[in-house]
Structure 1
Amino acid sequence: MSTDSEYQNAAIMSQKKRVLMICLGNICRSPIAEAVFENEISKRGLKNQWEVESAAIMGYHINKIPDHRALTTLKENGIINYSHRARQITQNDFDKFDWIFGMDNENIQDLNSIKPKKCKTRVELLGSYDSSGEVIIQDPYYDNNSAGFQKAYEQCLRSITVFLDKHSD
């Protein structure tokens, strides 16, 4: 038997706008984007309006934590309470989320190839909201240092700021 508070929580959840961040392996760019989005909605007092997750196109890193350079970059930018385990996108995600953001054109092509024909989800490049016009968020995984992770963080922050400014009540 369900309680009134369970019904209220279900009603609140159904009213939230949902965002899914996607990259190839879900250990670099999409976790950074998820953490930045979560941090921004917390700072703005919008946790009751938004929900965010991240996932991978490919299942290379399922159940692994983000790359240590991604976590270090988040900590260096003041996001210290983020935890995540990589997962792969599912068909159900296209029903659950209002927006699914890819980080590059390959992500978008892959997403569009698995997206159901009748689907309300908007598939977009996260960088299409970047106020500096840097549309592609490059994969820093194979970089020898963490500079690409910091650049991805900055691009995500700019893009998410513009997105939330445009789509929040």
Structure 2
Amino acid sequence: MAKKMLRSVLFACLGNICWSLIAEAAFRKLVTDQNVSDNWRIDSAATSTYDRGNPPDFRGQSCMKRHGTPMSHVAWWVTEEDFTTSDYILCMDESNLRDLKRKSNQVKNCKAKTELLGNYDPQKQLAIEDPYYGNDSDFEVVYQQCARCCRAFLEKAH
């Protein structure tokens, strides 16, 4: 039997305490439910150092618990190595994308395909809005969009 190729995806947002974590957790649950988690290396990171070392936002954790998806993570930022070891870096909005493109241009041997997670949204909502200044319903909207995008991404990346 041929060994499946390991793929890697890194989800990125500004602080790595809200939306990228929701995307990471949603994708992790999806690949686990589809019994393909052994084929993926999954993580998330920030485009800034604002929240380095912080745990996930409590509203995001509550949202994910409601969906039966636990989330544990300590915020960290995208490193130069991520661009050389990740197949995909999927970010949440145009600001994240600009930051990541600027960083990737400084990396030799960059192999990561860096793009918006929203590019995979069947409902064509390209930007995933930052829920940080919102309420529980904003986190739910982010979860629903991330879940849709992750399903479509997984189908395309298979």
TM-score range, shorter chain: over 0.9
- Deviating 4+ runs (over 4 angstroms): none
Which among 85, 89, 98 is matched to residue 100 of structure 1?
A: 89
Pair 1:22 & 2:12 matched: yes
The aligned amino acid for 1:121 is A
Show the counterpart of 2:50: 60
Q: Note the aligned Cα RMSD (angstroms).
A: 1.4
- Residue ranges of structure 2 left out of the alignment (5+ in a row): none
Question: TM-score by structure 1 length?
Answer: 0.87
Which among 115, 119, 124 is matched to residue 115 of structure 2?
A: 124
Superposed displacement of residue 29, structure 1 = 0.4
The aligned amino acid for 1:107 is N
Superposed displacement of residue 166, structure 1 = 1.3
The aligned amino acid for 1:135 is L
Show the counterpart of 2:142: 152
- Residue ranges of structure 1 left out of the alignment (5+ in a row): 1-11
Which shifted more, 43-52 or 111-120? 111-120
Number of residues of Structure 1 aligned to a counterpart in Structure 2: 154
The aligned amino acid for 1:104 is D
Pair 1:87 & 2:70 matched: no
Which shifted more, 86-95 or 114-123? 114-123
Pair 1:76 & 2:66 matched: yes
Distance 1:97 1:148 in 2: 29
Superposed displacement of residue 117, structure 1 = 5.3
The aligned amino acid for 2:152 is V
Question: TM-score by structure 2 length?
Answer: 0.93
Superposed displacement of residue 131, structure 1 = 0.7
Distance 2:75 2:11 in 1: 12
Distance 1:158 1:60 in 2: 28
Superposed displacement of residue 15, structure 1 = 3.4
Q: Which has the larger radius of gyration?
A: 1
SS in 2 for 1:58: coil
2:85/2:111 contact within 8 Å kept: no
Show the counterpart of 1:142: 133
